[in-house]
Amino acid sequence: MNLKILQWLIQHRELLLQVVSVGKRFSKDMTLLEKWVLVDEIARLVLPVVESNDEVMELLASDYWAADDDAEVSFAMGADVAALGVDWRLVVEVLLPVVISILEAMACNKK
């Protein structure tokens, strides 16, 4: 699932950069409410792109996002993300879990 979502984000580079901009403000020391504000900001960026894309909406209703991750693909995408000047660790540890949760919540409504 992680790689499929990361591939989707890389295909939407402007969205990825906007999400990274919000994610850079994340700190483990933040209160739960402060973290939730960031999640809300990310959702407000991601949801319009997802909702305006019929292909993604169809994928949400399928098992597409549940596919196994591939190490070679992961390495290549890491290079793509690095080429954008984006912190890979921020993407993997902070942003992907948030975006995955948002998409999973939407998928529940589509099945």
For the whole model, what pTM was predicted? 0.79
Q: What is the mean pLDDT of the chain?
A: 82
Domain chopping of the chain, boundaries: 2-24+31-110
Question: How large a percentage of the chain has pLDDT more than 70?
Answer: 76
Torsional sign, CA 86, 2, 45, 38 = negative
Hey, how many other C-beta atoms are within 10 angstroms of the C-beta on 16? 22
- Higher pLDDT: 25 or 63? It is 25
Asked whether the predicted pLDDT for residue 68 surpasses 60, the reply is no
Q: What is the pLDDT of residue 29?
A: 96
Q: What is the pLDDT of residue 2?
A: 72
Q: Confidence band (pLDDT; 50, 70, 90) for 84?
A: confident
